[in-house]
Amino acid sequence: MLTTHQTYETNIRLPFSFILFGTVAFLFSQMMFLFSGPQMVIGAFRIPSVWAAVHLTVLGWALMVAMGAMYQLVPVAFLTPIWNETVGFIQFLVTALGILSFSASLALKMQMAFFPGLLLTFGFVLFFLQMFMTLRKQAKKNIMTLFVGTALVCLLLTIGLGVTLTFHFWSGTETLDHLLVLKTHVLFGIFGWFTLLIIGFSYKMVPMFSLAHGFSMKLARYVYIVYISGLIVSFFGFFKKYEALFPIGMSLLFVGFALFAYHMFTILQTRVKKKLDRPFLFALLAIGIALFLHGAALFCSFSKNVPIFNILIYAYIFGWIILSIIGYLYKIVPFLWWTHRYSKKIGKENVPTLKQMMNEKWTVVQCSLFVASFIGVLLALIVSSLPLFYIAQGGMLLFSLLFAGSIISVLLK
Amino acid sequence: MGMKEKIIEQLRYVIDPELGINVVDLGLIYDITVNEGNVSILMTLTTPGCPLHDSIVGGVKRALLDIEGIKDVDVQITWNPPWTPERMSEEALRQLGHR
């Protein structure tokens, strides 16, 4: 009989540093989007202020929160302690400084973004080293290791391509075809890194939060094979400038994601917990939104309509990546603080449940505001309405404030 | 009340904070051995990689060390056999929305 005495908890300050930074970065990025409204509604996405806002959202918020969550989730999900916490804190400082200077540089002096980009790269390399050394120690590899490991490889490629883009701006010379690098940067960044990471951790978190048991994991390997094939085919479509490959790549990504969505549905059917927590339902809603967006991307891949792809990318980042992270954070943050405050009191005195750490009704109001604002911004971008954009983006900014308040309220429990 | 019964009653104060259900009603306790004040608990968790692993194991130790006559507590986690919902009490199932 296999037994264990091993402990897996990470120093709470490490994941919280990332999450708190991310929460503040999200607030500022939404302000930047608000001020970029006049350009965005006319389809001008490739401008300094939008690039800065997108990178502050994707790097400052989504990536930092994902990293913080990984520092907490990897040890428990993979039954492997973090390799080196000191490196984790150094990585936080380097990455945070890198993101701030990189975003500022994109907004104010894009030609110089190459240098903070290098600092940012150093932060990512430290993170990659940390995760590689941690996952290497994992006794028994599984499909989650494959998803998360491949996601990390995609992150590394995304960073390399991003640095190449900033080098082009700085040097004024193109080492590689600029548009190819840009397209691949977006493909590996959002479809590769974020989607593979969320899929990988969903295989842990969905059964855990729903107390699902007795389900099969066989489908996961087909999800992986089909989705990765989609990424590779799309990349070769860009690389060889063979446009017919792009719809095939998008078809594979759609089928891969549809298989994942179906797998999640079958897992949820085996759940013991009948009434699911509300914030978790929003993380599940994000899967539905992503399925729709993969279908929309497939449909649009037959046309050469670049503005619609810009809107789809926005929708994918907010409707899938950010909504998933928000849904899971409403569970992760109370857990982290509970562990810090009450872990040593369990069995000694009455301690609150995780659900009591955050007002669930309030989280529903916030998530509903997020979804309504997200739809409003999308409509504003589609119909080019600046007043609608200001109203909807104002809602998004309000959400980011309320969300920051919710996170702080947990810390006061 | 015998020592084992006292231990089971005390373990009812150890709650899984995610579910709000105690470890006994969840069916996490597999075996209890008492030997001259030294207690050995063989238990599981609802899933390998449960984020509350350390909290629950620590909670079991602290709860049992409160019982008079217990000198030491050893808690071992096993995944074999894995936990199944059938191990839960009627009360636990009711709290999770069954019936």
> How does strand B38-43 pair with strand B72-78?
parallel
Asked, for residue A42, whether it belongs to a domain, the answer is yes
The CA distances from residue A107 to A101, A216, B25, in Å, are 10, 48, 57
Give the pair of three-digit tokens for residue A69.
Answer: 């969550």
Chain-centre distance for alpha carbon A193? 8
**Structural domain tally of chain A?**
1
For residue A36, what are the domain limits?
A: 11-140
Asked whether the beta carbons of residue B49 and residue A77 sit closer than 8 angstroms, the reply is yes
Task: Give the confidence band of A359 by pLDDT, cuts at 50, 70, 90.
Answer: confident
Cα–Cα distance for residue pair A62/A68, rounded to 1 Å:
10
Q: What mean pLDDT do residues A46-63 have?
A: 92
Q: In chain B, whose CA is at the least distance from the CA of A332? A: B51
Neighboring chain B residues of A8 at a CB cutoff of 8 Å: 53-54
* Average predicted confidence (pLDDT) for chain A: 91
**Nearest 10 degrees: Cα torsion A375, A381, A384, A386:** 70
On chain A, the residues whose CB falls within 8 A of the CB of B66 are 347-348
Q: Tell whether the model's pLDDT for residue A120 goes beyond 90.
A: yes
Residue A48 lies in a domain: yes
Q: What is the pLDDT of residue A240?
A: 84
pLDDT at res. A8:
59
* Interface residues from chain B to A (CB-CB < 8 Å): 13-15, 17-20, 42, 46-56, 58-64, 66, 75-80, 83-85, 88, 93, 96-98
Question: Does some domain include residue A267?
Answer: no
Structural domain includes residue A126 = yes
pLDDT at A198: 95
The pLDDT of residue A2: 44
The predicted-structure confidence for A265-300, as pLDDT tens digits, reads as follows 999 999 999 889 898 999 999 999 999 999 999 999
Q: What CA–CA distance (Å, rounded) separates A93 from A242?
A: 42
Put simply, the answer to whether A5 touches B77 (Cβ < 8 Å) is yes
Determine contact: A211 vs chain B, CB below 8 A: yes
Task: Decide if pLDDT at B38 tops 90.
Answer: yes
Question: Is B51 close to A346, i.e. CB distance below 8 A?
Answer: no
Segment A94-113 shows an average pLDDT of 93
Domain B3-94: give its CATH code: 3.30.300.130
Residue A36 lies in a domain: yes
Predicted local confidence at residue A7, as pLDDT:
57
By DSSP bridging, strand B15-16 and strand B21-22 are: antiparallel
Confidence of residue A346 (pLDDT cuts 50, 70, 90): confident
Residues 6+ apart with CB under 8 A from A368: none
Residue A376 sits at φ, ψ, to 5 deg, of -60, -45
Residue A111 covered by a domain: yes
Residue-level pLDDT at B99: 67
Position A376 pLDDT exceeds 80: yes
pLDDT confidence bin for A10, thresholds 50/70/90: low
CB contact under 8 A, A9 and B97: no
Q: What is the pLDDT of residues B55-74, one digit of tens each?
A: 899 999 999 998 999 999 99
- Which of A97-111, A279-293, A335-349, B33-47 has the lowest average pLDDT? A335-349
Does residue B93 surpass a pLDDT of 70?
Answer: yes
* Apex A325 CA angle, A321 and A331, nearest 5: 160
**Are B96 and A272 in contact (CB < 8 Å)?**
yes
Taking contacts as CB-CB distances below 8 angstroms, the residues of chain A near B83 are 213
Q: What is the ipTM of this complex?
A: 0.86
Q: For A205-259, how does the pLDDT look when each residue is reduced to its tens digit (9 = 90+)? A: 899 899 998 899 999 999 999 999 999 999 999 888 888 899 999 999 999 999 9
Q: Is residue A247 part of a domain?
A: no
* Nearest C-alpha neighbor of A126 from the set A171, A159, A169: A159
